[in-house]
Chain A
């Protein structure tokens, strides 16, 4: 079974995605895992730094701490890529597929609810 298949990135173990994947998908997958792990911390730091009722020193400390966090812990660094081909452009969010992969699968009748337009 594929459970426990790990890759290593910056000394941090990363769960690899299932199925076929390429380096860019793995990179993005790593960012997603890391941002999910640090989400609560980032939210707490953001709360402290944006709270005007707290002492300025605490706020600045929180801001510095946030700035010191690695880029891969930021959710904005993730990119919606095609989950099959790995392409980063023209990705349908609802299907998580690139336009061409979507077309191929839709023509093969592998996407439920997707039919060819006819009128």
Chain B
């Protein structure tokens, strides 16, 4: 395959030479016959690191993760808004008598099925 097509008018030939020179200068591939070389697939920027980190990263520490690195005396200060709301609701329920039932004292009652009549 000729590097520069030789069936060109002098003006067109000159232009082809210019393009070839320009390709050399700007580090591009000179492809006068426009053959499909698939170079565009290699030229493309890789986007895996962008598309791969779409969701929230799980490496970001939560309040509970931070809590572990502090002494026990001040760990109770690490409270989120959700915790506050939860506590508020629990206390409100308790005031209305809808809290947790008390645990029974003593041994568990005997199973009625195992009793002989």
- The interface of chain A, by Cβ under 8 A from chain B, is 1-3, 5, 15-19, 21, 25, 28-29, 32-33, 35-37, 39-40, 43-44, 46-53, 75, 78, 80, 83, 96
Contact = CB atoms under 8 A, between A and B. Distances in A.
A83 B65 contact: no
Interface of B: 35-39, 41-42, 44, 46-49, 51-52, 54-62, 65
A32 B51 contact: yes
Contacts of A50: 36, 38, 41
A85 B76 CA distance: 30
A35 B55 contact: no
Contact of B55 (A5, A36, A52, A83): A83
Contact of B48 (A17, A35, A47): A35
22 contacts: A1-B59, A1-B65, A2-B58, A2-B59, A2-B62, A17-B58, A18-B56, A28-B54, A32-B51, A33-B52, A37-B48, A39-B48, A47-B41, A50-B38, A51-B36, A51-B37, A52-B36, A75-B47, A75-B48, A78-B54, A83-B54, A96-B54
